[in-house]
Amino acid sequence: MGRDLVLRNPVMTASGTFGYGEEYTDFVDMAQLGGIIVKGTTLNPREGNPYPRMAETSSGMLNCVGLQNKGVQYFIDTIYPRIKDFDTNVLLNLSGSTLEDYVKGAERIDALDKIPAIELNVSCPNVKQGGMAFGVTCAGISQVVSEVRKVYHKHLMVKLSPNVTNIAEIALAAEAAGADSVSLINTLMGMAIDAERRKPKLSVITGGLSGACVKPVALRMVWQVAKAVKIPVVGLGGISNATDAVEFMLAGASAIEIGTANFIDPAVSEKVAFGITDYCERYGFQKVTELIGALEC
Amino acid sequence: MTKQIADFKLVEKQDFGRSVLLRLRSDQPLPAIQPGQFVQVRVDDSPSTYLRRPISIHDVDFQKNEISLLVQQVGEGTRHLAQAKEGDVINMVFPLGNGFTCPEVGEKVLLVGGGIGIAPLFYFAKVLKENGITPSLLLGGKTETDLLRLSDYQQLGETFVTTEDGSLGEKGFVTMHSIWQKQSFDKIYVCGPKPMMKAVAKLAAEKGIWCEVSLENLMACGLGACLCCVEDTIDGNVCVCKEGPVFNTRRLKW
């Protein structure tokens, strides 16, 4: 991938589903992953939304965590020293509610030697005046990406929201503003109701849908975006096994992220990495990169 | 502490109507397990159950590599789990969370359980007894049939009972039992429905007694990654799955 992000294999873990990696070291050998993307971090600490923050749905779940985190400085002082020597790429997912937050956050992360890339979260549906405000218009994404680009010198991945009319246009705007890659999709906005109590199941009523149920939507969007942009596309959304991962690569993804599936099988990311290798051997692909966009249609 | 993901075989199932006791055996030796920790059970072949189900550890037999779960049928996932047959394979991630704080020898200990919340107190009472502490148990239910395995609990310590309908023990809630007037305790441990735990916590606070409660907020990952199961504490929102499920009540904003 562009600007110094070299992955050992195409498998990464999605932000918000893998903690800081430490939560999963009993289950996963980091050396078997292309990278991990740690929990969405904002310039200042955030308490997140009230409980309840989760509702199970058919083949998926809704969450409205609302970017609970202790802020960039806490990450730098406390978390970074503990995880910087993981034998994999450690990417930070950076979110914000103002342009200034994104820029200041990115500046500080730029100084961390062992973080080769930021995944810029312009697509969290769960915070008021949240990143998604930037991520749903071409002008918004163009502004935030170009401002961050001025201060951030390493690989800049931009995570796109599926809650838009034409995701390819948004991806093109991110590319034009200086993104090195795009990752998609973030969660789809949804809602769940408890009919017995006639109340919403989530504290803030709406939340982001993830899990196996979103895969067809994600796959379609990855395919559309991969056809539109020249920068690498990272695919995510409901990937639960190696076959799912291969499908995203065939649709045009250069790498993939495993998200909600980590909750069901904490060891799934490593299994997917092995499974992709198996697939390549089975069908005679010499290199995994041969899968990218190899869809025949 | 090492967490594992492993397949267990259901070696024995006891049916209690709305609840079942599942005795599950692993091929692998079990890691250390503290009373109050829990497992995340994968529910197979249930399309509407996507996530694992967090269930407290009811009993452990390290000689036989067995973990027992006392499961109440609450929703689709637990209903499906309760239909498992002997010989079925059940996948679990365990042991998760932090258990109860062990009391000092000589301290007077009361374990208070409500409904299916009595489940983790069995293993806890057993471990206490092995360590030379005989706890008192106060178990409450809506009715007689809620008090599962009562004779087995009675083997582990002096056991007091309340039922809301008066069908067994004293009539009313656990907080109304006469034991509170007759005896004093150094440490109280509670597991049950939240309103019941809050009532016991309040009573303990009034009496100035140290108190721990075991929470069961809705969870997804069980590992502290997703931040869904948070409880509001004096330290802000913390994950019940990772920092709990057992909390000292002084830490909670109840």
Q: Looking at the structure, do residues B170 and B209 belong to the same domain, yes or no?
A: yes
Least Cα distance to A30 among A18, A47, A39 occurs for A18
The nearest alpha carbon in chain B to A64 belongs to B228
In a domain, residue A250? The reply is: yes
Q: Looking at the structure, do residues B89 and B120 belong to the same domain, yes or no?
A: no
In a domain, residue A297? The reply is: no
* Average pLDDT score, chain B: 97
- Picking from B218, B236, B237, the nearest residue to A54 by CB comes out as B218
Query: How, if at all, do strands B136-141 and B109-114 pair?
Result: parallel
Q: Which of A74, A79, A202, A264 to mutate to test the interface with B (most CBs of B within 10 A)?
A: A264
- The structure tokens listed for B198 are 């809050």
Instruction: Provide the domain limits for residue A41.
Output: 11-291
CA dist., res. B86 & res. B97, Å (int): 28
Q: What is the pLDDT of residues B76-121, one digit of tens each?
A: 999 999 999 999 999 999 999 999 999 999 999 999 999 999 999 9
The answer to whether A136 and A164 have CB atoms below 8 angstroms apart is yes
Percent of chain A whose pLDDT exceeds 70: 97
Query: How, if at all, do strands B246-248 and B236-239 pair?
Result: unpaired
Catalytic site residue A138?
Answer: no
In this prediction, residues B212-220 reach a mean pLDDT of 97
In a domain, residue A41? The reply is: yes
Q: Is the peptide bond before A185 cis (omega within 30 degrees of 0)?
A: yes
Q: Looking at the structure, do residues B90 and B113 belong to the same domain, yes or no?
A: no
Q: Is the pLDDT of residue A251 over 50?
A: yes
Q: Is the pLDDT of residue A100 over 80?
A: yes
Q: Looking at the structure, do residues B123 and B66 belong to the same domain, yes or no?
A: no
Query: CATH number for the domain including B34?
Result: 2.40.30.10
Q: Is the pLDDT of residue A130 over 60?
A: no
Q: Which of B226, B235, B254 to mutate to test the interface with A (most CBs of A within 10 A)?
A: B226
Burial, A282: exposed, middle or buried (Cβ in 10 Å; 0-12, 13-18, 19+)?
Answer: exposed
CB atoms within 10 A of CB B166: 12
What integer pLDDT is reported at residue B1 of this predicted model? Answer: 62
What integer pLDDT is reported at residue B214 of this predicted model? Answer: 98
* Four-CA torsion B191, B197, B200, B205, nearest 10 degrees: 110
Q: What is the CA radius of gyration of chain B?
A: 17
CA dist., res. B197 & res. B94, Å (int): 25
* A263 CA: distance to closest CA in chain B (Å): 4
For residue A131, name the pLDDT band (cuts at 50, 70, 90): low
Percent of chain A whose pLDDT exceeds 90: 94
In a domain, residue A4? The reply is: no
Q: Is the pLDDT of residue A125 over 70?
A: no
For residue B45, name the pLDDT band (cuts at 50, 70, 90): confident
Q: Is the peptide bond before B35 cis (omega within 30 degrees of 0)?
A: no
DSSP A49: P
Q: Which of B215, B228, B235 to mutate to test the interface with A (most CBs of A within 10 A)?
A: B228
For residue A249, name the pLDDT band (cuts at 50, 70, 90): very high
Q: What is the pLDDT of residues A195-222, one digit of tens each?
A: 999 999 999 999 999 999 999 999 999 9
**Complete DSSP assignment for B79-129:** HHHHT--TT-EEEEEEEESB-PPPPPTT--EEEEEEGGGGHHHHHHHHHHH
Burial, B31: exposed, middle or buried (Cβ in 10 Å; 0-12, 13-18, 19+)?
Answer: middle
Counting the structural domains of chain A, the total is 1
Q: Is the pLDDT of residue A2 over 60?
A: no
Q: Is the pLDDT of residue B58 over 90?
A: yes
The nearest alpha carbon in chain A to B53 belongs to A264
Q: Would the CB atoms of A56 and B223 count as touching at under 8 Å? A: no
CA distance readout (Å), B111 to A196, B78, B156, B176, B183: 33, 25, 11, 15, 13
In a domain, residue B89? The reply is: yes
Which residues in chain A have their CB less than 8 angstroms from residue B218's CB? 51-55
Q: Would the CB atoms of A16 and B226 count as touching at under 8 Å? A: yes
- Picking from B2, B224, B228, the nearest residue to A63 by CB comes out as B228
The answer to whether B101 and B171 have CB atoms below 8 angstroms apart is no
- Picking from B221, B236, B237, the nearest residue to A263 by CB comes out as B221
- Picking from A26, A60, A266, the nearest residue to B50 by CB comes out as A60
- B162 contact partners, CB below 8 Å, separation of at least 6: B138, B139, B140, B141, B169, B170, B171, B172, B173, B174, B176, B177
For residue A166, name the pLDDT band (cuts at 50, 70, 90): very high
Q: What is the pLDDT of residues A38-95, one digit of tens each?
A: 999 999 999 999 999 999 999 999 999 999 999 999 999 999 999 999 999 999 999 9
Counting the structural domains of chain B, the total is 2
In this prediction, residues A209-238 reach a mean pLDDT of 98
Strand B187-191: give its sheet, edge to edge: B170-171, B158-163, B136-141, B109-114, B187-191, B210-214, B246-248
What integer pLDDT is reported at residue A1 of this predicted model? Answer: 43
Q: Would the CB atoms of B227 and A23 count as touching at under 8 Å? A: no
Q: Would the CB atoms of B222 and A265 count as touching at under 8 Å? A: no
Least Cα distance to A34 among A131, A155, A135 occurs for A155
Query: CATH number for the domain including B198?
Result: 3.40.50.80
Query: CATH number for the domain including A130?
Result: 3.20.20.70
Burial, B65: exposed, middle or buried (Cβ in 10 Å; 0-12, 13-18, 19+)?
Answer: middle
Alpha helices for A112-241 (secondary structure H) = 132-135, 138-151, 167-176, 215-228
Instruction: Provide the domain limits for residue B148.
Output: 109-214
* A167 CA: distance to closest CA in chain B (Å): 26
In a domain, residue B203? The reply is: yes
- B42 contact partners, CB below 8 Å, separation of at least 6: A264, A265, B52, B90, B91, B92
Q: Looking at the structure, do residues B89 and B126 belong to the same domain, yes or no?
A: no
DSSP H or E run through A54: strand A54-57
Q: Is the peptide bond before A52 cis (omega within 30 degrees of 0)?
A: yes
In a domain, residue A6? The reply is: no
* Four-CA torsion B152, B147, B138, B37, nearest 10 degrees: 70
In a domain, residue B241? The reply is: no
Q: Would the CB atoms of A23 and B224 count as touching at under 8 Å? A: yes
What integer pLDDT is reported at residue A99 of this predicted model? Answer: 92
Burial, A180: exposed, middle or buried (Cβ in 10 Å; 0-12, 13-18, 19+)?
Answer: buried
In a domain, residue A56? The reply is: yes
Q: Looking at the structure, do residues B117 and B85 belong to the same domain, yes or no?
A: no
Least Cα distance to B9 among B35, B79, B22, B120 occurs for B22
Predicted complex ipTM exceeds 0.90: yes
Which residues in chain B have their CB less than 8 angstroms from residue A19's CB? 223-225
- The structure tokens listed for B133 are 């502490």
Q: Looking at the structure, do residues B138 and B164 belong to the same domain, yes or no?
A: yes
Candidate list A124, A138, A280, A297, residue with the active-site label: A124
In a domain, residue A5? The reply is: no
Q: Looking at the structure, do residues B170 and B73 belong to the same domain, yes or no?
A: no
